[in-house]
Structure 1
Amino acid sequence: MSGLRNSPFGKRLRASQVDDNNGDDLDAQGHRRNRPRINPIFGGAAASSSASTPPLDSAGSGSSNSDSFFDSLPKHGARQTPKDYGDRFVPSRESGDLRTSYHLRESGPATPARNKIIPSESDALKEQANAIFNTILHNEVTPPSPRPSSPARSIDPGAHPIGSAPTTPTRRRLFAYNSPSTSSTGTPNRRLDAPTDEVYSMSPVRSQSRQLLESPRRQLRSVCKTPYRVLDAPDLADDFYLNLVDWSSTNVLGVGLGSCVYLWTAHNASVSKLCDLSNQGDVVSSVSWVQKGSSLAVATTTGRMHIYDATTLQLTRAYPAAHSNRIGALAWNSHVLSSGSRDRTIHHRDVREPNTKPFKRSTGHRQEVCGLKWSGDGGPSSATLASGGNDNKVCIWDLRGSRRPTHGFAATLGSSSTTDPAAGTVSGEEQGDAPLWKFHEHTAAVKALAWDPHVPGVLATGGGTQDKHIRFWNVSHGTMLHQLDTGSQVCNLIWSLTSHELVSTHGFSSTTAQNQICIWKYPTLNMVASLTGHTNRVLYLAMSPDGETIVTGAGDETLRFWNAFPKRGHDSGRAESRLDYGRLIR
């Protein structure tokens, strides 16, 4: 029996009996014995002194100096030492997935950013490649969970009372080599007997990624990022409210430089001076070509307006007092010339009449009129004029008369219903004609205006530094169709004639990207290309008559020519018509 007592089993039995006596360990004489605090199994100085081999003749004494492994277990009220589980952690695949454990975002519509950052170098091909890469990375790293819901940990309140020590978790296998059963709620319903199952795939990527890589993609055209021609333009004003560059239907570019206007012929690159207003002490503030022909209207900062024949370089009409302040915007509608001034009015003149007075005036802006554009689609809305002002408003005018009731509008403006005998008709504000529509959504000056040549009645407008938005309007119903936050000041807008795309030029920006020339696809509003080259804000924009080339001007005193659009009928989706005789006449 002495051998049984000194055996490890006997020691453990005596230790369990001692633990029942309120944790007191007594020797043969009934005195309390101090026990070592260090477990002798893990070594140490104290352990080495006490971990001696018990004598064989100590049977029945119960006074062994050795300590068993169970003596190191924590007792009630005693201080517990933290356990060391090591530095290796193997996650359980059944406890959750990556999305649930790390709170990864689910696939869904992303919240649009408040300010859109235009990249300095970007095009449609790069954007498409980045989108495909992001999608594949999302599928491979954080695939969608096959479970219907996130697993929840079941907690039994009675299993672990408060203050009790944690128990060792149940040992489970990390990998289970059994077929998934349909009775288990945590196992998705899969058919492993299907040859197309993902477990039998030899591809290194998932089936969704492989399908995305193998699917055909839309062929995108590439846009040259460098201008094919750069011209010096000394004294080109760096003023947001001026319009000093325009391209005629006869392929002649008109540019206002200081007090002079120069003509640059595209087919032979010849330059000629049209006029010089330095002897009058005046400065050119706006130039505009008639839709078809060689007539060029030139406006000045003192409110004068002149019409020249570019073929003979002769002055044909002069309006010495067209406005009381500078004229920053001009727009033609056949023989009708409209001018917007800093005096907040818009005047309409028939250049065929000998009278210099306007036959109609439009007053709807409270500050300078800095943008004017006639709709030139030839449809029912060809008599519609869009105006933008420094008061952040966009007005739509119909010279045939307002379609809305305007009772009391004349009294609001403080004007009387009188007839102007010099003009031969009643002026617009005296008639009490209100704008057909007035849009208030912009929060900065509106200079950029462009009518969609492909969809009648669609107008694009761009706001200044405090707005940075391009908005699209349906003027037939007076509603906003789309809006795009460009993150930069919008200086000009122009639609492509060969594709349903829009060009915007930009200036000041709150981000690093500024002075950009962006091409947008409509109506998706995806960026086709972003062109850089100007060191100042791009304030001037014009398009060649064939619709393939655009020219931009900036305060850096340069004019840059870009091949922005494909040829007519090549990529625009429609073939050239042999009945289009207008293209054959030069």
Structure 2
Amino acid sequence: MPINRMIDSNYNNSPSRTIYSDRFIPSRSGSNFALFDISNSPTSDQGKEDRSIAYQSLLRATLFGPDTPGTPVSRNIFRYKTETKRSLHSLQPLGYDESGLGISHSPVKAPRKVPTSPYKVLDAPGLEDDFYLNLVDWSPNNVLAVGLESCVYLWNACGNKVTKLCDLGIRDSICSVGWAQCGTHLAVGTNNGQVQIWDASNCRRVRTMEGHRSRVGVLAWSSSLLSSGSHDKSILQRDMRARDDFASKLVGHKKEVCGLKWSYDERELASGGNENRLHVWNQHSAQPVLKHCEHTASVKAIAWSPHRHGLLASGGGATDRCIRFWDTTTNTHLSCLDTGSQISNLVWPKNVNELVSTHGSSQDHIIVWRYPTMSKLATLTGHTTRVLYLAISPDGQKIVTGSGDETLCFWRLFPASKSQ
């Protein structure tokens, strides 16, 4: 009976009503099925068809512009149609075609996740809580050197073996350590103003150099050239290939030299002083070629970019708290960021264009920044006092930090370089 009722319209004279199926079937109410009927008045239908084509042309020009090709469009435009597959990340309205605009629907790359806990913590009894010392350095051969009071210890990161390299006795103490680029010799700066060179393989001192009148708190290597900065305000440069201890002397700072870094191309030396000055020297100058006085506290934290020639970062102490960026090729101050706390060290990893800063004065944390936006990727906490020491592993993936809480924390932060 229901089937006959749907077929025979004369079955019942009651008012007609639309009957729907229980399945999802597209509505055809907008379709003109009368087009398939044989018409008894062709002239009238032809007029209707002409008016319909004229209306379609007007509608097409209004919607798509007057330059739209004049080919008749489908009568099912904007009707039921299977949508083409669209990106999940698109924010455009349905049916909006971006292919002609060159817009890509590929998702935005999510920020890299950085582990915020150290993967290793070592005790370092006797590690000084002194902002002006540099007591930790990581060699190209994966050996960590740490100065603890009058001794230097070597920790082999591959085998976890600890070796005591030297002991200066009760009359002297370690103020700085720095590995030569060959990875076999270690420079040691002492409180009495000496610079000693040690053969780490044989635990043997091979050279002792005088010249500074007070403690040597910072060291920097450039191939065979060793630069040392001292509390006596001077920088001495010695060529390790020469037999004598002759040194060129760089004079420009008015207080202790506490920051010292050679650029990656070994053409420029950046130095920071306790008088809040940042100087840049070239290979042949006895006077700084660039002088910057924008910092308002000691400049210990210095880092050269391995990704861009002449790009230099510097960080100020407790009353400054700013990281500043410089282009030494044009003598331009690029930007400044107030970090909110004392900056003790900066490292620019070679694997990624990011920056690591260590902090003291109430914060006592480590921050990983994305350059050049200087957005924070991670804030690392693991020390209970200010973080004064920082070194990066030879593979560029890990850092070690040291603090007056007498611990060394190892952090795995960066991906492997593409060449590895």
2:269 aligns to what?
Answer: 385
Which residue is 1:396 aligned to? 280
Post-superposition offset of 1:516: 1.1
Long gaps (5+) in structure 2: 1-62, 64-77, 79-90, 95-104
Match of 1:407 in 2: none
Change (3 A) 1:241 1:209: farther
Give the counterpart of 1:347 among 211, 220, 236: 236
Structure 2 residue 149 is the aligned partner of structure 1 residue 255: no
More strand by share: 2
> Which residue number corresponds to residue 323 of structure 2?
470
CA deviation digits over 1:27-66, x for unaligned, max 9? xxxxxxxxxxxxxxxxxxxxxxxxxxxxxxxxxxxxxxxx
Mapped partners of 1:537, 1:293: distance in 2: 29
Paired AA for residue 296 in structure 1: L
Residue-by-residue CA offset, 1:478-513 (whole Å, 9 max, x unaligned): 11112111001000000111100000000014xxxx
Aligned pairs for 1:67-78 (under 5 A) are none
Residue 338 of structure 2 is aligned to residue 485 of structure 1: yes
1:515 Cα deviation from its structure 2 partner: 0.7
Report which of the two has the higher share of helix.
1
Deviations 1:81-137 (A, max 9, x none): xxxxxxxxxxxxxxxxxxxxxxxxxxxxxxxxxxxxxxxxxxxxxxxxxxxxxxxxx
C-alpha displacement at 1:399, in angstroms? 2.3
Q: CA RMSD in A?
A: 1.9
Q: Report the secondary structure of 2:361's partner residue.
A: strand
**1:309 paired residue number:** 199
Within 5 A, what are the aligned runs for 1:174-573?
216-278=107-169, 281-319=171-209, 321-358=210-247, 360-376=248-264, 378=265, 382-401=266-285, 428=286, 434-509=287-362, 514-569=363-418
Query: Alpha-carbon deviation of 1:470?
Result: 0.3
Partner secondary structure for residue 278 of structure 1: coil
**3-state secondary structure, aligned to 1:491:** strand
Distance 1:209 1:221, change over 3 A: farther
Instruction: For residue 304 of structure 1, report the CA deviation from its aligned partner.
Output: 1.1
Task: Using the TM superposition, give the Cα deviation of residue 271 of structure 1 relative to its aligned residue in structure 2, in angstroms.
Answer: 0.1
Give the C-alpha shift of residue 393 in structure 1.
0.2
SS at the partner of 2:244? Answer: coil
The Cα shift of 1:218 comes to 1.9
| Deviation (angstroms), 1:357 | 2.8
- In structure 2, relative to structure 1, the CA distance for the partners of 1:545 and 1:314 (3 Å cut) is same
Distance 1:517 1:215 in 2: 33
Q: CA deviation at 1:322?
A: 2.7
TM-score, structure 2 length as denominator?
Answer: 0.74
Code of the residue aligned with 1:533 in structure 2: it is G
**1:530 is matched by which residue type in structure 2?**
T
Q: What is the distance in 2 between the residues matched to 1:465 and 1:215?
A: 44
Corresponding residue for 1:54? none
Q: 1:440 to 1:208 in 2, by over 3 A?
A: farther
Give the whole-Å Cα distance in 1 for the aligned partners of 2:180 and 2:217: 17
CA distance in 2, matches of 1:209, 1:392: 56
| Secondary structure of the corresponding residue to residue 130 of structure 2 | coil
CA contact (8 A) 1:383 1:400 kept: no
- Offset, 1:552: 0.2
Paired position in structure 2 for 1:405:
none
Shift of 1:209: 13
Deviation of 1:215 after TM superposition, in Å, equals 8.6
For residues 246 and 209 of structure 1, the distance between their equivalents in structure 2, rounded to whole angstroms, comes to 57
Asked if the contact 1:392/1:443 (under 8 Å) is kept, the reply is: yes
CA distance in 2, matches of 1:436, 1:476: 11
Cα distance in 2 between the residues matched to 1:454 and 1:233: 33
Q: Percent identity?
A: 53
Cα distance in 2, alignment partners of residues 481 and 292 from structure 1:
34
Work out the CA distance in 2 between the residues paired with 1:303 and 1:488: 31
Distance 1:224 1:262 in 2: 28
Runs of 4+ that moved beyond 4 A: 207-210
Measure the CA separation in 1 of the matches of 2:108 and 2:380: 24
For 1:154, the equivalent position in structure 2 comes to none
Residue type matched to 1:306 in 2?
Q
Distance 2:315 2:149 in 1: 26
Give the structure with higher Rg (CA): 1
Where does residue 82 of structure 2 map in the other structure? Answer: none
Note the 1:110-125 alignment, pairs <5 A: none
2 CA distance for matches of 1:209 and 1:232?
Answer: 60
CA distance in structure 1 between the aligned counterparts of 2:284 and 2:256, rounded to whole angstroms = 24
After superposition, what is the alpha-carbon deviation per residue over 1:370-420, rounded to whole angstroms, capped at 9, x for unaligned? 0100112x3xxx22100000000000001223xxxxxxxxxxxxxxxxxxx
Distance in 2 (CA, whole Å) between partners of 1:561 and 1:390 is 29
Distance 1:235 1:361 in 2: 32
User: 2:34 maps to which residue?
Assistant: none
Corresponding pairs, count: 323
Distance 1:244 1:258 in 2: 10
Contact 1:231 1:558 in 2 (8 A): yes
Q: In 2, are the aligned partners of 1:373 and 1:387 still within 8 Å (CA)?
A: yes
Aligned counterparts of 2:368 and 2:237: Cα–Cα separation in 1: 33
